[in-house]
């Protein structure tokens, strides 16, 4: 089993920590802009989801025969390899930089295109992630580039009980309604 990026349908506690550590960047593949592009230095290799592959109209270059253990206990099947994929990103001055990489296809159940740049790609571009400065420094063909990054916070979903107890009662509320609220 290989370690890999996981679905953005994050698996609670363990995943929240992983999710909040990701650094996102604006990337594209063959003019397909992928807003869910992120650097994951905890993943052995990179991945493209079904939505990305379908939007590009691609077929796998090579079959794959392994399962992927995400950064939680989530396991998914690799659905094929795509080699020499041109990933384009813009540096802080707006210059487009393109570096190729090999990616596995996953079905993470997400409808939007996703690109996970794992350690294989990060090492290839001699990348250094600096989340404190919101930047990714990389070298390609002897030139250095600074790529702006950003992070996202996991969205906490309120449980029905939290929603119920957070309701406020106006001054006309009956004592029965107040008793119901106390029981929650």
The CATH number of whichever domain residue 71 belongs to comes to 2.40.70.10
Answer whether 51's CB lies under 8 Å from 105's CB. Answer: no
Q: Does residue 44 fall inside a structural domain?
A: yes
Q: Does residue 144 fall inside a structural domain?
A: yes
Q: Does residue 129 fall inside a structural domain?
A: yes
pLDDT (tens digit per residue) in 89-146? 999 999 999 999 999 888 888 899 999 999 999 999 999 999 999 999 999 999 999 9
pLDDT (tens digit per residue) in 56-80? 999 877 767 655 655 555 556 567 8
Q: Does residue 153 fall inside a structural domain?
A: no
- Give the range of the structural domain holding residue 52, as residue numbers without chain letter: 2-148
HSE-CB of 141 using CA atoms within 13 angstroms: 4
Q: What is the pLDDT of residue 45?
A: 82
Determine the Cα–Cα distance for residues 76 and 67; give it in Å rounded to an integer. 6
Question: Reduced to 3 DSSP states, what percent helix, strand and coil does the chain have, rounded to the nearest 5?
Answer: 20, 35, 45
pTM comes to 0.71
Q: Name which residue leads in pLDDT, 13 or 170.
A: 13
Among the listed residues 109, 112, 136, 152, the one whose alpha carbon sits nearest the alpha carbon of residue 39: 136
Q: Does residue 10 fall inside a structural domain?
A: yes
Q: Does residue 13 fall inside a structural domain?
A: yes
What is the number of structural domains in the chain? 1
């Amino acid at each position: 089993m290989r370690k890999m990026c996981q679905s953005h349908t994050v698996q609670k506690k363990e995943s929240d920590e992983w999710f909040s550590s990701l650094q996102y960047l604006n990337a594209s593949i063959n003019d397909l802009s992928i807003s869910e592009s992120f650097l994951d230095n905890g993943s052995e290799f990179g991945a493209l989801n079904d939505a990305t592959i379908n939007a590009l109209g691609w077929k796998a270059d090579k079959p794959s025969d392994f399962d992927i253990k995400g950064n939680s206990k989530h396991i998914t099947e690799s659905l094929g390899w795509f080699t020499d994929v041109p990933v384009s990103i813009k540096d802080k001055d707006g210059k487009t930089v393109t570096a190729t990489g090999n990616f596995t296809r996953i079905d993470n159940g997400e409808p939007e295109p996703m690109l996970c740049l794992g350690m294989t790609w990060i090492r290839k571009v001699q990348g250094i992630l600096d989340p404190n400065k919101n930047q990714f420094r990389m070298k390609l063909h002897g030139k250095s580039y600074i790529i702006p990054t950003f992070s996202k916070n996991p969205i906490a979903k309120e449980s029905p009980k939290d929603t119920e107890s957070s309701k406020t009662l106006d001054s006309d509320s009956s004592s029965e309604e107040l008793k119901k609220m106390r029981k929650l």
